[in-house]
Amino acid sequence: MKLALVLAYVLVLLGCGFISMKKTRTVNDFFLGGRGVGPWLSAFAYGTTYFSAVLFIGYAGKVGWGFGLSALWVTVGNSIIGCYLAWRLLAKRTRDMTLRLNTMTMPEFLEKRYDSPNFKIFAALLIFIFLVPYTASVYMGLSYLFETVFHIPYNYALIAIALLTAVYLTMGGYFAVALTDLVQGIIMIFGVGMLLYYITGAPEVGGFAEAVSRLAAIDPKLAGPVGPPGILPLASLVILTSLGTWGLPQMVQKFYAIKDEKSINAATWVSTFFAIIIAFGAYFTGAVSRLFNSVLMEKGVNPALDPKYFDMVIPTILTYALPEIAVTIILLLVLSASMSTLASLVLVSSSAISIDLVQGRLAPNISKRTAVLLMRVLCVVFVAVSLGIAIMKPQIILTLMALSWGTVAGAFLAPYLYGLFWKGVTKAGAWAGALTGFAVSLGVSAYFKFDPQILNKFSPMIGSAAMLIPLVVVPAISLVSEKFPEPHLLKVFGTKAVEEYDLTFAKGTEELVN
């Protein structure tokens, strides 16, 4: 029965990829679905990219175990800041400006917004170096669950997942991803419902109200508004996982691709409610994980002894508290969340090379057919690279995984956010913000000698600092550096004066020629 459900799921994904092939003829089709993706597909694409195996397997278990019920503040942040405000504040501006500037990627946007070709190269390399290892971490989380539930060896599970990702992604590109995300999102909602039903009904938990009193008996702070680690680590987690999405290329891509302004309002609410359901299910399960301590100890899982066991906390609880068919559906939930995240990460990583470097600098005149082929080939290459990283698990890669979210968001958030709304931001200000975020993340990590144990503990605070400090640096440097000329700002922000400037420029050129 388990294998039959998984096989049916795989066939659905491949079917979506096959249907999407007919809609994919250009790079714009492949990377952005032709900018014609509707509200439901866009909302589910955003939500399923947001939440992956990293959340369900390791992160929710670790955060919930440490913070108790106060981990649910992360759910509030993810829903309001990470989804509602992101769509409400950024989506329309992003779609309009990227259409006006004819850009498809974050590096292209930064280049044209700040008139800086080098900015595009810097951004593309940053995406490649830090998002590919992050992709590997998603593969690793999925494989741990397959190993626990199906007893499939880790490497075999990795290879199977990588092949599936490569096939359906290269067939249909972004539209295939968005179409499958709708299916995956429905599975995730249904799976979380089952998860909460069985977890709250387990004798160790005894319902929501009883869970609060039992956690308080272990440590009153586990049932309080702020968990044992304190307010600063909790606030850092909320900022990192919520505000961080505003600067991540794989999340911003969804704003580029949505069909029209009318679709944005519907997508805002759908993605917000989706986030509430999924994040609550994950973090609540993590929060009550201490109530299953005797079960975990019996299975040899002891997070208090060694942090490496956090990856096994939720899988162990699932196999104990849920019937086999429910565990299989939860497996599909995690697989759904992760496949979308994987596909989005691979698309963004491949675009950094094909669109931003090859088409943008090395071979700007390649044909549409060659460009699409290049994107497909690079998707396969990046899947293979991520697979290799996940199999080898070298120490430096594990360190990059811990740094990836904060480093990428820290470098992009301030230049992207100010670039959308403030005409006064300068090239020097944008560069200062990007380099500051990058330097804070890597500099503090270097101070701790890139020690994985220290980074695992402090990475939320490091990542949050890397995002917040550039928000001060960008305006400070912009106020004292050279401003952009008015014609450039008119083209970027799209006022009526743009047409007047273009007309004047054209007449002036004609007179000069004559």
Tens digit of each residue's pLDDT (9 = 90 or more) over 291-305: 988 888 887 777 766
Decide which of 364 and 22 is more confident: 364
Mean pLDDT for the chain? 79
- Cβ atoms of 384 and 377 closer than 8 Å: no
Q: 381 pLDDT band (50/70/90 cuts)? A: confident
Report whether CATH 3.40.50.10800 matches the domain 2-393: no
Q: How are the residues of the chain apportioned to helix, strand and coil, as percentages rounded to the nearest 5?
A: 85, 0, 15
Read off the DSSP letter of residue 25.
-
| The total number of residues written for the chain in this structure | 514
How confident is the model over 113-126, as a mean pLDDT? Answer: 88
d(CA 343, CA 240): 22
* Residue predicted with more confidence, 244 or 132: 244
Q: Which two tokens stand for residue 339?
A: 């496949």
The pLDDT tens digits for 169-215 are 666 565 666 666 677 778 788 888 888 999 999 999 988 889 999 99
More confident residue, 354 or 225: 225
Cβ(138)–Cβ(346) below 8 Å: no
CA angle 466, 470, 474 (to 5 degrees): 165
Amino acid 509: pLDDT: 40
How far, in Å, CA of 303 to CA of 339, rounded? 27
Count Cβ atoms within 10 A of the Cβ of residue 388 and give its class: 0-12 exposed, 13-18 middle, 19 or more buried: middle
pLDDT in tens, 44-87: 878 877 876 566 666 788 888 889 999 999 999 999 999 999 99
pLDDT at 482: 93
Q: What is the DSSP secondary structure assignment for residue 484, as one 8-state letter? A: P
Owner of token pair 């990583």: 349
Confidence band, pLDDT 50/70/90 cuts, at residue 18? low
Q: What is the pLDDT of residues 323-377, one digit of tens each?
A: 877 777 777 767 766 666 666 677 666 666 666 666 656 666 666 667 667 777 7
Residues 267-294: pLDDT tens digits?
999 999 999 999 999 899 989 988 988 8
Residue extents of the structural domains in the chain: 2-393
Rounded to whole angstroms, the Cα distance separating 408 from 247 reads: 7
Q: Would you state the structure tokens that stand for residue 148, as one six-digit string?
A: 């626990």
